[in-house]
């Protein structure tokens, strides 16, 4: 994974919050679930949300082979892939120092199509394994027609940077700390509700193992 520090990527605002190393980039990619993919045609930028999967130092996205976005990206046009996790509201004593905790990665590069059926299959498996390890073996595998209708693109990362904010507000040492205003952080997390069976699910079909593991692995929130 490249860690160049060109003008394009160098984080100028609050540079102490910036990282360029592969571990930091992978951490954000593994925490996130949705990427926003940006590209431009005739000077008009587009920003489209999509699932992704990190496999080593590659980032895969997929979509319908007929999709405009997929076809445009597959042509190798310059792209930007951004993943953001919102971690908390940072409540300072002043409006100015009020902030958010977040973890975000901005990747620059180009996509190229994954064409071999074997690689396409393992790419699709990766999408599931990221979210629900073991699920791939439980579901019906793609037919030849389904595989043909699905495009997988692989992102070649030219440059990447991570920007993160964590911890309490920055005004503990300021004169604002004398105010009788509460200061601290409200953490934000992604949580999962109880699995909701499909209306057409036969009553005899139990929760699959991958979903049970999922429920155990990630904290379930009971309202």
Size of the site for a second copy (CB under 8 A): 98
Closer of 20 and 169 to a second copy (Cβ) = 169
Residue of the chain from 15, 56, 187, 203 that contacts a second copy (CB under 8 A): 187
**Taking CB under 8 A as the rule, does residue 119 contact a second copy?**
no
Q: How many CB atoms lie within 10 A of CB 108?
A: 21
Single out the segment in contact with a second copy by CB under 8 A; choices: 20-28, 52-60, 112-120, 190-198: 190-198
Residue of the chain from 115, 117, 177, 217 that contacts a second copy (CB under 8 A): 177
**Taking CB under 8 A as the rule, does residue 65 contact a second copy?**
no
Residue of the chain from 131, 148, 166, 217 that contacts a second copy (CB under 8 A): 131
For residue 18, give Cα distances in angstroms to 11, 102, 199: 6, 12, 47
Residues 8-47 that bind a second copy (CB under 8 A): 8, 12-13, 33-34, 36-40, 43-47
Q: How many CB atoms lie within 10 A of CB 14?
A: 9
In a 3-state reduction of DSSP, which class is residue 180?
coil
**Taking CB under 8 A as the rule, does residue 155 contact a second copy?**
no
CA distance 12 to 163: 11
Closer of 1 and 147 to a second copy (Cβ) = 147
CA distance 151 to 84: 24
What the block records as the tokens of 167 is 């911890």
Residue of the chain from 115, 116, 166, 189 that contacts a second copy (CB under 8 A): 189
Single out the segment in contact with a second copy by CB under 8 A; choices: 18-26, 52-60, 77-85, 112-120: 77-85
**Taking CB under 8 A as the rule, does residue 55 contact a second copy?**
no
Nearest to 44 by CA among 11, 77, 85, 13: 77
CA distance 168 to 73: 40
Residue of the chain from 118, 144, 198, 203 that contacts a second copy (CB under 8 A): 198
Sign of CA dihedral 76, 51, 26, 116: negative
Nearest to 217 by CA among 135, 162, 145, 161: 135
Single out the segment in contact with a second copy by CB under 8 A; choices: 16-24, 52-60, 72-80, 111-119: 72-80
Residue of the chain from 16, 23, 118, 199 that contacts a second copy (CB under 8 A): 199
Closer of 117 and 195 to a second copy (Cβ) = 195
CA distance 15 to 167: 16
């Amino acid at each position: 994974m490249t860690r160049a520090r060109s003008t394009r990527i160098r984080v100028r605002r609050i540079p102490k919050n910036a990282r360029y190393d592969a571990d930091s980039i992978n951490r954000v990619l593994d925490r996130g679930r949705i990427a926003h993919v940006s590209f431009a045609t005739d000077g008009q930028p587009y920003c489209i949300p999509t699932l992704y999967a990190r496999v080593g130092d590659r980032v895969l996205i997929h979509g319908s082979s007929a999709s405009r976005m997929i076809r445009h990206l597959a042509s190798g046009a310059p792209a930007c892939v951004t993943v953001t996790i919102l971690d908390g509201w940072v409540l300072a004593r002043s409006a100015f120092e009020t902030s958010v905790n977040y973890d975000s990665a901005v990747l620059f590069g180009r996509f190229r199509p994954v064409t071999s059926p074997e690689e396409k299959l393992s790419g699709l498996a990766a999408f599931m394994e990221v979210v629900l390890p073991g699920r791939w073996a439980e579901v019906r595998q793609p037919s030849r027609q389904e595989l043909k209708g699905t495009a997988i693109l692989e992102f070649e990362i030219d440059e990447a940077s991570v920007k993160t904010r964590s911890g309490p507000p920055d005004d503990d040492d300021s004169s604002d700390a004398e105010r009788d205003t509460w200061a601290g952080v409200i953490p934000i997390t992604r949580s999962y509700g109880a699995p909701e069976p499909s209306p057409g699910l036969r009553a005899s079909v139990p929760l699959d193992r991958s979903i049970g593991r999922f429920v155990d692995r990630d904290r379930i929130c009971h309202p």
